[in-house]
């Protein structure tokens, strides 16, 4: 099983539908980074509504994906985290998840659009190269 990644304009959407094995999580990370690298998208919303365990391994994969995406100029937003999962992560100590989060897919897409628009504005400030691909 491979987690499907959908493209919506400059944004990628993926919904993790079940508990992933470590290998499936790494494959998803690779797929996402490849699409970002190839310039096929600028950001991704990862929905984890159906995921009922996020352990330190999964946390690391998510953090790494976000960090690498940022290095490539992209953004990652995590959505739909179950309250029980969030509670457990808090109990596990420190801020274990270093990824931007939003309540649901819809607000995640909005969040991503506005951070990408902000990013472009910042670039335009230095380059004077107008364009509002993400329209806010």
Partner 1 sequence: MANETDITVEVHSQEDIITARQSGRELARQSGFGTVDQTRLATVISELVRNALVYAGGGTCRIYSDISDSQRTLHLVVSDEGPGIVDVPRALEPGFSSGGGLGLGLPAVRRLMDDMTIDTHPTGTVIHARMTRKR
Ligand X SMILES: Nc1ncnc2c1ncn2[C@@H]1O[C@H](COP(=O)(O)OP(=O)(O)OP(=O)(O)O)[C@@H](O)[C@H]1O
Q: Contact positions toward partner 1, by CB under 8 A?
A: 19, 21-23, 52-57, 59-60, 84-85, 87-88, 91-94, 96
18 binds ligand X (CB under 6 A): no
Six token digits for residue 113: 């659009």
98 binds ligand X (CB under 6 A): no
Distance CA(98)–CA(106), nearest Å, equals: 21
Six token digits for residue 26: 């790494």
The interface partner of residue 22, options being ligand X, partner 1, none and the CB cut-off 5 to 8 Å by kind, is partner 1
63: nearest Cα among 21, 25, 109 = 25
CB-wise, 37 or 60, nearer to ligand X?
Answer: 60
74: nearest Cα among 23, 30, 40, 110 = 40
Q: Which of 8, 34, 40, 57 binds ligand X (CB under 6 A)?
A: 57
């Amino acid at each position: 099983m491979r987690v499907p990644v959908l493209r919506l304009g400059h944004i990628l959407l993926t919904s993790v539908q079940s508990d992933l094995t470590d290998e499936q999580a790494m494959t998803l990370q690779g797929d996402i980074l490849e699409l970002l690298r190839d310039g096929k998208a600028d950001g991704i919303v990862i929905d984890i509504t159906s995921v009922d365990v996020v352990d330190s391994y999964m946390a690391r994969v998510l953090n790494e994906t976000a960090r690498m995406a940022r290095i490539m100029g992209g953004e990652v937003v995590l959505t739909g985290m179950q309250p029980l999962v969030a509670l457990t992560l808090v109990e596990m100590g420190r801020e274990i998840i270093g990824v931007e989060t939003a309540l649901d897919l819809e607000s995640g897409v909005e969040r991503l659009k506005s951070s990408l628009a902000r990013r472009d504005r910042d670039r335009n400030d230095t380059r004077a190269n107008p364009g509002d691909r993400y329209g806010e």
